[in-house]
Structure 1
Amino acid sequence: MRLILYSKPGCHLCEGLQEKLAQIHSFSFDLEVRDITTRADWFQTYQYEIPVICRDNNGKEEQLPRPSPRATVSHLEQLLQKYLKTHSSE
């Protein structure tokens, strides 16, 4: 499974979420971090929304609900597991 994190340099919410994602070890996923300042289309789409997590579903990105910045690692892990299990069967 591959997750995509849309982010930009200096975004403390993005950095915090990336750190929490790195601490999840109960299931396997590849994390690709995309800097929205490197592409105009990403910047236009996500400039007011970052951090944004998407799931790569066979080349089609599906945006996941944005977790609270106050979510703990275990809470984030539970949310991801629940959401990914629910949507992987669709």
Structure 2
Amino acid sequence: MTDRTPLVTTATLTVRYFAGARAAAGRSEETTPAGRSLDDITAELAVRHGARLEAVLRVASFLVDGVVCHDRHTPLPAGATIDVLPPFAGG
């Protein structure tokens, strides 16, 4: 007997945290559902992780698949990687 139930997968993307963002999130990486904008995702992450990460996200830069993200309103595709880069001190 074989199970013919369709496999249901959730399309996700990966969020990677660096430096102060990693400390504020309490982790280096996590996944979140795809198909939403960067603004939607950062709002969700702020709620999930609290005020400390929210403050970092307000001043962070974001790379989507290695490219600086200037459009915070377009839905991001499944499989994308978002890098959260807080401002770095020094030169």
TM-score interval (norm. to shorter): under 0.3
Q: TM-score, normalised by structure 1?
A: 0.27
Larger Rg: 2
Higher helix share: 1
